[in-house]
Amino acid sequence: MFLKMVKNDFVRQKIVTISVFVFIAMAVLLGASAINNIANLIQSMSDLQERAVPADITQMHSGEFDQAEIDKFTEEQRENIAMQETMDLLTLDGSNIHFGNNQTMAGTVQDISFVVQNKKFDFIMDLDNKKLDVTKGEVAVPIYFMQQYDLKIGDTITVKSGEYENEFVISDYARDYEMNSSLTSSKRFVINQADYNEMLLKQAGELEYLIEFKLHENGDSQGLQTAYIEGGLPANGPTVGGKIFLMFNAMSDAAVAMVIILISVLLIIIASLCIRLTLLATIDEDLREIGVMKAIGISKKDIKKVYLNKYRVMSVVAGIIGYLLSFAVVNLFNGNMRLYISSDLSGNLKYVLSLIAPLLVYFMIVMYCKKVLKRIDKISAVVALRKDSMERGKNQKYSFPLLKNKFFSTNIYMGLRDVWKRFKLYRLLFFIFIVCTFIVILPINIYNTMNSPEFSTYMGIGKSDMRIDLRRTDSITEDFKKLQEELKNDLDIEKYASYITSSYQVKNAEDSWDYMNIETGDFSIFPLNYLEGRAPEGEGEISLSFANASKDGLNKNVGDEVAVNVGGEEKNLKVTGIYQDITNGGKTAKAHTSLGVNDEAVLWYIVYMDVAQGVDIREKMDYYQNAYDSAQVNDIKEYTRQTLGNIIDQMSTVVIGAFAIAVIIAVLITALFLRMLLSKDMSQIAIMRSMGLTSKNIKHQYMAGTMMVLILGIIVGVLASNYLGELLVSMAMSTMGAAKIEFVHVVWQTWLLCPLVLIVVVGFTIFVSCKVAVKDDLSVVLRS
Amino acid sequence: MSNILEAISMNKKVELGKDNELHILKDVNLDIEEGEFVSVMGPSGSGKSTLLYNVSGMDRITSGSVKFKDCEIGTLKEEELAKIRLNHMGFIFQDINLLKNLSLIDNIMFPALVSKDADKNAVYQKAKKLMEMTGIEKLADNTITQGSGGQLQRVAICRALINDPDIIFGDEPTGALDSKSSADIMSILAEINNEGTTIMLVTHDAKVAAKTERILFMVDGNLVAQKKMSKYDNQHDDIKKREESIMKWLVENGF
C-alpha cells in the first residue's frame, strides 16, 4: 500500500523527484568518494611509512664531517635512538643534467642530489612500494621530475660536471617519502654504488650529508635535537622533523578530500531545501486530502508516514547507488595519491568507512523531513477542508504599490516585487545562486593569486623582476662577491639587493638553543608586506615569519626580544615585524645587515633585482645564468610556479570542475524551482490570463523576478568568495605559514566573465523553463 | 441594434479519459445585442458556465462559430484573444479571483497599467471613481485578506470595468454572497448596463435573473428556451412580480 503511494507520488512529480534523487545520490557519491579517499590516504600512507621507514630527525650538513663523532653520539643516546644512518649526497645543479633533445634541468628550483639507497631506513621506493635496487648504468628519477619533464622509463639522462660525464638509463621512478612533495626543496636521484663512487672520484657535484636518526617508539625527539646541537655536532643545514614529511605528503590529497566533502555538504543542503520546497508544495496541494484523512480518523503519525516513506525509499536507493558509484568515481580524485603514495589502493578500510556517507545522508534527510512534516500537526481537519478561511483577516502592511513604479514596465515591476513579497520562497534560489557563484569564483581567485607575482608576499620575499640563488657549491662566496661587483656596474639593472642566509643558534620557548636560518640584508629595497610591524631597519632588530612567531615556534610578538648566538656572544634582538612565508617549512627570520654574517654557516646567497625599463628580462636572465654556472636564475613568477608545483595544476582542474558543477546545479535547481513556482501559481496565472495578459506578459514577470534573484545572488556570491573566501583560505594556509592571504582579483574574470557566463546559461534556463501557456481551457484552472 | 456576440452551431466536447467524452454544449445558437442584459439559467451541469467561457473566448469551442463584434474568435491566436479580453471584455467570477499580492486598488488598476501607454494618473483617478461608485473607496489600500466577500466582489466589478469593456461576463457573481450583498451587486450591474455596457451572466437565482432583460434556459447542453422581458426599472418595476413570472416560466420549461 505505502509503496503504491510512493509510486503514485513519483508519477505525479516526476521531474522534482528525479532531481532530488540525483542530488541525494550525488551527495552520497561525493561524500563516500571523499571518505574513500581519506581511508585510502590513511592506509597507503601508513603502508608507505612502514616500508620506507622515514627518519624521525634529519640533519642536513655540508662541509667537514666525521662519522665517528656521530657514532659516539648515537651510543650515548641509545635510549632514544633506534638506528642511525648517514646518507651521502652528491648535489648537482640542474644545468648538469641533460635529457631529451639538448634539454637540461637548469630551470628547476629544486636541489638535485644523487644518492645510493640506504641500508637501514629512509628507503626510497619504486612505484610498487618496493625498495629500489638500481644496477650500474641506471637511475631512478624522482616522480616530481618525471612529471615536470615527462621522463619515461628507458629514456636516458646524462650527467655532465667538470670531467665527469655519464649516461644513465631511467629504470624506475623514485617514490621518496621524505622528498616527494614539491614543497620539499630537494629531490633525490637513486643510482648504483659503483656509479656513485665514480662520480665522487671525479668530483661531480658537491658532497653533502643527511645525518638521519630513527628513534625508539617513545624516543624524545626534542631532547635529542637539543643534545645534538649542544654536542657541537655537524649541523650547518636545516633540521627537519619526521612530521613535516607526513604533512607535505598528505596535504594535497587531504585538501582535495576536504573540497569534495564541502561540495557534498552543499549538495545535502541543496537536496534538503528542494525537499522542503517539494514537501511544502505537496502539503499545500494535498491540504484537502490531509483534512479528509484526519476527518476519517487516520492518525497524524500515519499521515506523515505517507509523505516520509517516499523520501525514505529515495534516500535508501540513492544512497546505495551513490555508495556503489563512489568506487568508480574515486579514481578521478586519487591520481596524485596513486602516483606519489601507493599504486595499489586495495585496502578494505574504505568499504566500511565509506558507508558513513550514505548512512549519514539517510538520517539527515529523514530527520529533516520529519521536521518539515511537523507542519501537518498544525492542520486541523476543519481548517484544511475550508482552506479559504485560513487566509482571511491577516494584517499585512502593503508595500510596493504599482503607482510607485517609475522605471519598469508593469509586468517587470510585478516580477520584481513578487521576489520581495515572497522572499521566503525565492530564498532557496537566492542561496543556490550565491553558492554556485562562490564555487566558481573562489577557485579562480585562488588560482589567480597563486599564479601572480604578488604571491611572493607569502613566500617571504618582496616583489622583484628576478632572483639569483647561489647555493651549495664551494665557490658561492666568491661568486657572490663577483656578482655584486658586476651588478653594481650593470646599467641594465635598476636596483638590486643581496641577502645572505646563515644558520644561527636561537633560544627557543623552552630556553634551550635551536638552529634557525636568518636572512640578513637591506629589506627596504624590495619591501615585503608585513602582517604586523615592519622590516628590521637597524641594529638589534629582527623580524620573524608567521610560523616562527606562532606558539609552535618561538612564541613571540612584535616588541618581544629573541636571543641569538652571534659569534659565541648572546645578543638580544627586538622583533620588529611578522611576515608570511610558506617556504622552508614556514620557519624563517630576517635581520638587519648589522647582525653580521656567520661565515662558517652560510647556507645560501640570494640576489633580487629589477631590470631597467626597456630591458628584456629573459635576455638578462640568460646572461647571468651563463655567467654563473652554478647559480639558479629565475623570474619570481617561475619561482613561485615551481615551488607550488602541481598545486597550481590541480587548482586549474578544480577551476574547470567547479565551474561545471556550479553550472549544472544552477541550471537544475532553476528549472526545478520555476516548475514548482509556476505550478504553485497556476491559479494566479489563470486569473491574469482571464484579465487579458498574454503568456508573454506573464513570462516576463517570472523572468524579471528570477533574473533579479540571479543577479543579486551573483553579486553576493562574488563578494562572499572575495572576502569570506579570503578568510577561509587564510585559515587553511596558516598551517603552512601564511595567515593573511589577500586574493589577487582579476576583475574582468570575477566581475565580468564568470557572472556573464552564469547569467547567460541560467538566463537561458529561465527562458526555457518559464512555460506559462496553459494548454487546457482557462476555465479548468479558474474553476478548480 | 447590432449583435455584439453571435454563436452558430457551437459545440463543446471534453475528453475525460480513454473512450470517455463529454458533450457539454450541443449545437448552441445564440445572439446578444449591444447593451443587452442577459442571464443564463439552468440546472447544475446543464452547461451554463461552459457556454459563458466559450462565447468569451476563455475556452476554445470544439466546432461551430463564435463571433465577437463580427470577429471570429475561434480562430484567433492566443495573443489576439488576450488583447480582446484586455480591451473589450470584463469578467466577474463567483470565486472573486483577485491577485493575492496586490492591494484592492492595485488589483483594479492592474489590467489598465499593463498597456504600455497607460497614463498612470488617469488610471488612478478612474479606479478611485469606480471605487466610489461601488462604495468601497475607503478600502483602496487594503489587501485582499482585509475585505468581505461582497466588498471583494465589488473590487472585481471595478477591475472588470477599468478598461471600459464592451461586455461583462459574470459567472454566478452573487453565488457566494449574502442576500444584501447580492442585491447591492445586482444594482451596480444594472446601473452599469444602463450606461450602455452589455452584460451576460450565469445564475441559479431567479432574484438575480429578475433584474436582467432576457433569460436563456439551458438543459443538458441545449439552449431550450428564452424569456424576453423589459429592462428592469428600479423605480417602477415590482421585482417580486418579475421573479414570480420567471419561476413560473422555469417550471413550465421543466426546471
Ordered DSSP codes for A576-630: EEEE-B-SGGG--EEEEGGG---GGGEEEEEEEEEEPTT--HHHHHHHHHHHSTT
CA dist A71 and A78 (Å) reads 10
Q: Pick the closest to residue A651 from A447, A438, A436 (CA basis).
A: A447
A169-228 confidence digits (pLDDT tens): 999 999 988 888 777 778 999 999 999 999 989 888 888 899 999 999 888 887 888 888
State the Cα–Cα distance between residues A250 and A3, nearest whole angstrom. 46
pLDDT band at A249 (very low <50, low <70, confident <90, very high): confident
Residue from B88, B95, B97, B157 whose CB has the most chain A CBs within 10 Å, to mutate: B97
CB–CB of B78 and A394 under 8 A?
A: no
Residue A275 has pLDDT above 80, yes or no: no
CA-CA distance, A412 to A682, in Å (whole number)?
Answer: 19
How many structural domains compose chain A? Answer: 4
> Beta strands B167-171 and B198-202: pairing type?
parallel
Cell of residue A547, nine digits: 610560523
As for the ipTM of the complex, it is: 0.93
Cβ-defined contact of B101 to A689 (cutoff 8 Å):
no
Cβ of B145 within 8 Å of Cβ of A396? The answer is yes
Tell me whether residues B97 and A687 touch, CB distance under 8 A: yes
What's the predicted TM-score (pTM) here? Answer: 0.75
Question: B58 and A777: CB-CB below 8 Å?
Answer: yes
- How far, in Å, CA of A10 to CA of A31, rounded? 26
The number of beta carbons lying within 10 Å of the beta carbon of residue B102 is 21
Whether A241 and A207 map to the same domain: the answer is no
What does the mean pLDDT of chain A come to?
Answer: 84
Identify which has the larger pLDDT, A378 or A570: A570
What are the residues whose beta carbons fall under 8 Å from the beta carbon of A431, sequence distance 6 or more? A273, A713
Tell me what pLDDT residue B8 has.
94
Same domain assignment for residues A529 and A449: no
**Percentage, residues of chain A above pLDDT 70:** 95
DSSP A459: B
Tell me, yes or no, whether A561 lies in a domain.
yes
Q: Residue A515 corresponds to which cell in the numbers above?
A: 638552529
Nearest CA in chain B to A390: B145
pLDDT one-digit tens code per residue, A434-493: 989 998 999 899 888 888 877 777 878 778 888 898 876 667 788 888 888 888 888 899
The reply to whether A391 falls in a domain is no
Q: A650 and A622 in one domain?
A: no
Strands (E) in A135-176, as ranges, are 138-142, 156-161, 164-174
Query: Which amino acid is residue A780, in one-letter code?
Result: V
A489 and A522 co-located in one domain: yes
Amino acid identity, residue A740? K
Number of domains chain B is built from: 1
Grid cell for residue A536 = 628590521
Q: B241 CA to chain A: closest CA distance, Å?
A: 34
State the pLDDT confidence band at B145, using cuts at 50, 70 and 90.
confident
How far is the alpha carbon of B53 from chain A, nearest alpha carbon, in Å? 7
Q: Is the dihedral of CA B222, B227, B230, B232 positive or negative?
A: negative
| Side chain identity, residue A256 | V
Q: Are residues A611 and A669 in the same domain?
A: no
Q: Which residue of B has its CA nearest to A684?
A: B99
Mean local confidence (pLDDT), A250-279: 75
Paired with B103 in beta bridges are B143
Q: Which has more pLDDT, B200 or A204?
A: B200
Best mean pLDDT range from A192-196, A340-344, B229-233 = A192-196
Residues A555, A557, A560, A564: is their CA dihedral positive or negative?
A: positive
Identify whether residues A648 and A625 lie together within a single domain.
Answer: no
Q: Which of A52-56, A75-79, A380-384, B173-177 has the lowest mean pLDDT?
A: A380-384
Range with top average pLDDT, A100-104, A460-464, B232-236: A100-104
CB contact under 8 A, B91 and A691: yes
Cell, residue A638: 617561475
Separation in Å, CA A727 to CA A533, A773, B139: 21, 47, 53
Q: Which of B49, B113, B143 sits opposite A402 (nearest CB)?
A: B113
Q: Using CB atoms within 10 A of its CB, is residue A418 exposed (0-12), middle (13-18) or buried (19+)? A: buried
Nearest to A687 among B87, B99, B124 (CB): B99
Condensed to tens digits (0 to 9), the pLDDT of residues A766-776 reads 999 888 766 66
Contact between residue A184 and residue A340 where contact means Cβ atoms under 8 Å apart = no
Does A368 lie in the same domain as A428?
no
B60, B93, B141 member nearest A782 (Cβ): B93
Cα A565 from Cα A582, distance rounded (Å): 25
Beta carbons of B98 and B157 less than 8 angstroms apart:
no
Cell of A388: 479559504
Position A30 in a domain: yes
Q: What is the pLDDT of residue A392?
A: 47
The whole-number pLDDT of residue A123 equals 93
Q: What is the separation, in whole angstroms, between the first and last Cα of chain A?
A: 28
Residues B172 and B175: their CA atoms lie apart, in Å, by 5
Q: Do B114 and A693 touch (CB under 8 A)?
A: yes
- Within chain A, what is the greatest distance between any pair of CA atoms? 102
A18 CA: distance to closest CA in chain B (Å): 27
Residue B189: domain span: 3-252
Confidence of residue A411 (pLDDT cuts 50, 70, 90): very high
Lowest mean pLDDT among A1-10, A99-108, A204-213, B207-216: A1-10
Distance in angstroms (rounded) separating the CA atoms of residues A747 and A729: 19
- Going by their DSSP bridges, the two strands A206-215 and A57-62 should be labelled as antiparallel
Give the distance, in angstroms, between the CA of residue A694 and the centroid of all CA atoms in the same chain: 51
Distance CA A449, CA A641 (A): 11
CA–CA distance, A582 with A461 (Å, rounded to integer):
10
Q: What would the mean pLDDT of A360-383 be, rounded to a whole number? A: 80
What's the pLDDT score for residue A645?
65
Which of residues A736 and A88 earns the better pLDDT score?
Answer: A88
Quick check: A516 and A503 in contact, CB under 8 A? yes
Residues B137, B195 contacting (CB under 8 angstroms) = no
What's the number of CA atoms in the CB half-sphere (13 Å) around residue A4? 1
Q: A4 CB contacts (<8 Å, ≥6 apart)?
A: none
Do residues A662 and A599 share a domain?
Answer: no
Lowest-pLDDT choice from A23-32, A130-139, A746-755, B45-54: A23-32
Give the lowest-confidence range in A402-406, A484-488, A582-586, B2-6.
A582-586
- Identify the bridge partners of residue A601 per DSSP, sorted by sequence position: none
- Across A168-182, A331-345, A413-427, A605-619, least confident range: A331-345
pLDDT at A687: 92
Provide φ and ψ at A135, rounded to 5°. -90, 170
- Residue B117, classified by CB atoms within 10 Å of its CB into exposed (0-12), middle (13-18) or buried (19+), is exposed
Provide the percentage of residues in chain A whose pLDDT is more than 90: 24
Q: Is the dihedral of CA B81, B85, B86, B92 positive or negative?
A: negative
Which has the closest alpha carbon to A346: A638, A36, A601, A663?
A36
Q: Give the residue carrying C-alpha cell 634551550.
A: A512
Q: How far apart are CA B86 and CA A291, in angstroms?
A: 38
Q: Count of CB contacts below 8 A, A vs B?
A: 96
Cross-chain residue pair A418–B145, CB shorter than 8 Å: no
Q: What is the pLDDT of residue B135?
A: 85
Q: What cell does B143 get?
A: 489587501
C-alpha A708/C-alpha A101 separation (Å) is 58
Please indicate, yes or no, if residue A65 is contained in any of the structural domains: no
The mean per-residue pLDDT over the stretch B88-110 comes to 90
Give the whole-angstrom CA distance, residue A492 versus residue A608. 14
Pick the more confident residue, A277 or A330.
A330
Residues from chain B that touch A688, judged by Cβ atoms under 8 A, are 99
Spatial contact of B41 and B172, defined as CB atoms under 8 Å apart: no
Residue-level pLDDT at A382: 64
> A758, A663 in Cβ contact below 8 A?
yes
| Domain span including residue A117 | 81-215
A738-776: buried (b, 16+ CB within 10 Å) or exposed (e) per residue?
A: bbbbebbbbeebbbeebbeebeebbbebbeebbebeeee
pLDDT category of residue A391 using cuts at 50, 70 and 90: very low
CATH number (domain holding residue B9): 3.40.50.300
Yes or no, beta carbons of A690 and B58 under 8 Å apart: yes
Torsions phi, psi for A607 (to 5 deg): -120, 125
Q: Indicate yes or no: CB of A692 within 8 angstroms of CB of B87.
A: yes
Contact call for B53 and A402, based on CB within 8 A: no
Residue A685's closest chain B neighbor by CA? Answer: B99
Using a CB-CB cut-off of 8 Å, the residues of chain A touching B124 are 403
- The DSSP annotation for A488-506 comes to HH-TTEEEEEEEEEEEEEE
Distances (CA, A) of A387 to A290, A293, A395, A470, A680: 11, 15, 18, 83, 15
CB B168 within 8 A of CB B90: yes
Residue A461 lies in a domain: no
Of A262, A654, A724, A665, nearest in space to A443 by CA: A654
A753 pLDDT band, cuts 50/70/90, is: very high
Cell numbers describing residue A411:
509586468
Average pLDDT over residues B2-8: 91
B27–chain A nearest CA distance, Å: 19
Chain A residue closest in CA terms to B161: A691
Closest-CA residue to A388 (of B205, B199, B94, B28): B94
| Closest alpha carbon within chain A to B58 | A778
The helix (run of H) or strand (run of E) holding residue B240 is helix B239-252
Question: pLDDT tens digit string along A702-737?
Answer: 999 999 999 999 999 999 999 998 898 888 777 777
| Dihedral sign, Cα of residue B218, residue B223, residue B225, residue B228 | positive
pLDDT tens, residue by residue, B102-130: 999 999 999 999 877 888 899 999 999 98
pLDDT at A165 over 50: yes
- A284, A387, A396, A402, best to mutate vs chain B, most B CBs in 10 Å: A402
Nearest CA in chain B to A419: B101
Q: Measure A389 CA to nearest chain B CA, in Å.
A: 10
Among A629, A652, A671, residue at a domain's last position: A629
